[in-house]
Structure 1
Amino acid sequence: MEQQPKYYIVDSSLLPEVFLKVAQVNRNLQSGICRTIGEATQQVGLSRSAYYKYKDGIKPLFEAATHSIITFNLMVTDEAGVLSVILSVFARAGANILTINQSIPVNGQAAVTVAARTGEMNRPVEQMMSEILAIAGVSRMEILAKE
């Protein structure tokens, strides 16, 4: 009987260097920075055998989120237009927004929860989140749940 794999979310600072290098090789191949596995492994200083050993077991959290519904929790300032700018970033990224909930502001801050389908996005979830965090009036953004 085949045992089901178990997955853990671990801060990258706690991972052995080999795992981080495998993730970098995957990014370099996917982005087109490197065209071959040999070129990519040489660039990051990793043996091809180590890459092949771990390549299928290491994926960034956001890559695993493709085709998922992700619920984001944000803290935003109570200013006209802030939520509109946030939603425009979701739209440009190709995220399909399913629900939006905003609390009544307290001390000039409101909690906003956005659930979105991420399968058709044209950029990584991590990049979209960075763009949203750069918006004036957004003080926090985190993933609350992933289905």
Structure 2
Amino acid sequence: MGESSKYYVLKQKAVPEVLLKVVEVKKLLEANGTLTIQEAAERVGLSRSSFYKYKDDIFPFTDNARGRTVTFMLQMNDEPGLLSYILQHIAEYNANILTINQTIPINGAASLTMTIEVLPSPKDISQMIEEIEATKGVHYLKILASEK
């Protein structure tokens, strides 16, 4: 049986250190075109063989998100201006809102499902997700899907 590709979205704290080091090596190589893979791997404390083993299997969420739609759910307080703030924040990251579905607030909180199209931008879309999640009044944010 052939190996099928399945993708998962994880928070950084759930990713093994070796995979985070692979991402760091990739960043070093991208930033400094004169470094060899061996030199970059040594700088982050990773073996060259580990880099080659995982290099095609991990990448920052943003690298895979451009040109995609991302669907996420968030629970937030029912406060005037909070949704407007979140929508403006999304626009600042050059993401286009495709759908918004919000429940009727119960006990002062509403659940919201939103699908956005991630357009080309120098900004890091994972940073946008983190900033929305850290916004006062937002209880949590979960990425449900990312599709091309």
Deviation larger for 101-110 or 38-47: 38-47
Could you tell me which amino acid in structure 2 is paired with residue 27 of structure 1? K
Structure 2 partner of 1:54: 54
Aligned twin of 2:101: 101
Contact kept in structure 1, 2:9 and 2:143, CA below 8 Å: no
In the alignment, what sits opposite 2:145? Answer: 145
Give secondary structure in 2 for the equivalent of 1:56.
coil
- Cα–Cα, structure 1 residues 92 and 42, in superposed 2: closer, same or farther, change >3 Å? same
1:64 maps to a residue whose letter is N
> For residue 68 of structure 1, what is the amino acid of its counterpart?
R
Quote how far apart the aligned CAs of 1:19 are: 2.7
Q: 1:97: Cα distance to partner?
A: 0.8
Shift in alpha-carbon separation, 1:113–1:43, aligned structure 2, 3 A:
same
Q: Write the deviation string for residues 35-81 of structure 1: whole angstroms up to 9, x where unpaired.
A: 52344212111123432332122223443233211111011111110
Residues 94 and 122 of structure 1 are in contact (CA less than 8 Å); yes or no, is this contact kept in structure 2? no
| Residues 71, 114 of structure 2: 8 Å contact kept | yes
Per the TM alignment, residue 25 of structure 1 is displaced from its structure 2 partner at its CA by: 1.4
**Which residue of structure 2 aligns with residue 88 of structure 1?**
88
Match of 1:7 in 2: 6
What displacement does 1:101 show?
1.6
CA RMSD of aligned residues (A): 2.6
Count matched residues.
144
Residue 29 and residue 142 in structure 1: after superposition, are their counterparts in 2 closer, same or farther (change >3 A)? farther
User: Unaligned regions of 5+ residues in structure 1, if any?
Assistant: none
CA separation of 1:14 and 1:97: change in aligned 2, threshold 3 A:
closer
Query: Which secondary structure does the structure 2 equivalent of 1:101 belong to?
Result: strand
Aligned-partner Cα distance in 2 for 1:15–1:133: 19
Answer yes or no: is the 8 Å Cα contact 1:38–1:48 preserved in 2.
yes
Shift of 1:17: 4.2
1:45 aligns with 2:22: no
The residue that corresponds to 2:72 in the other structure is: 72
- The Cα offsets for residues 70-127 of structure 1, whole Å up to 9 and x where unpaired, read as 1110111111100011011111111111111211110000111111011424323321
Q: Which is worse superposed, 60-69 or 83-92? A: 60-69
Identical counterparts, % of pairs: 44
- Higher mean C-alpha displacement, 20-29 vs 86-95: 20-29
